[in-house]
Amino acid sequence: MRYCGEAPEFAGLSSPQCVIMGKVAKFAGLSSPQCVIVLQVSEFADLSSPQCVIAGKVAKSADLSSPQCVIVGKVAKFADLSSPQYSIWVAHLQSE
């Protein structure tokens, strides 16, 4: 796994569920092999659905089941979500 930005805390990387934390966050409904990144304090719900809402930054991710996912608001690009290892590029990471 490769991460550009701050050093995050990783959990569950050995499973199809990948959780990447940049700040303190709570996760719920991680039932699909989708990659989630948190940049601000947020609570995630129903991540198994095609759309993911980041409470706190209010950003919508479209088509999380596709190989590429774009989180609007913090501009994070995900690549190769279908493999056990993920590559994450964070264009903008600002603490507020």
Percent of the chain with pLDDT over 90: 0
Q: What pLDDT, in 10s, does the model give residues 32-65? A: 334 444 433 233 444 433 334 333 232 334 344 3
The answer to whether residue 52 is domain-embedded is yes
Q: Model-level pTM?
A: 0.17
The answer to whether residue 6 is domain-embedded is yes
Number of domains composing the chain:
1
Strand arrangement, sheet containing 87-90? 2-4, 87-90, 76-79, 69-71, 59-61, 52-54
Q: What residue numbers bound the domain in which 13 lies?
A: 2-90
The answer to whether residue 96 is domain-embedded is no
The answer to whether residue 24 is domain-embedded is yes
The answer to whether residue 23 is domain-embedded is yes
The answer to whether residue 27 is domain-embedded is yes
Q: What pLDDT was estimated at residue 56? A: 28
Q: What pLDDT was estimated at residue 67? A: 34
